[in-house]
Structure 1
Amino acid sequence: MNIIKDQKGQSAAEYILLFGGVIIIALVALQIYSNYFSQSQNFTAKEDAQQIRNNLTNKTTTP
C-alpha cells in the first residue's frame, strides 16, 4: 500500500511532460516559420506591418 500513497516522482514526471510538450510546440512553430525567415532577406518590421495592414484591408473590402 505504500507504493500507491508514494507520489514523490509524480510531479517530476509531470514537469518533464510539460516541458517536452512546450519544446515540441516550439520546434513545430520554428519549422512552420523557417521558410518565412529564410525567404525574407531584407526583413523589416515596418514593411511587414504594412503588408499585414494591406492584406487585412483587402480582405475586409472584398465581399
Structure 2
Amino acid sequence: MAKCDICGKGISTGIKLSHSHIRTKRTWSPNVQKVRALVNGAPKKINVCTRCLRSGKVQRAI
C-alpha cells in the first residue's frame, strides 16, 4: 500500500535483532502522503513520499 507514485519507493523488509539475539522479521514503511498534484496539467490525487515533495519533483495543485 505504501508506495510512491513518483520514485517507486515501497516497503523494505529486514530483521529486528534483540539484545538476546532473537531475530524477527520487520518492515520499514516510507512516509507516503496523499497529495493533490498536477499530472499532465490536471490536478489529481497521488501518493508521494516526502523526499519527492521536498526535492521539488512534484508540483502541488492549489
> TM over 0.5, yes or no?
no
The alignment's TM-score, normalised by the length of structure 2, stands at 0.24
**Whose helix fraction is larger, Structure 1's or Structure 2's?**
1
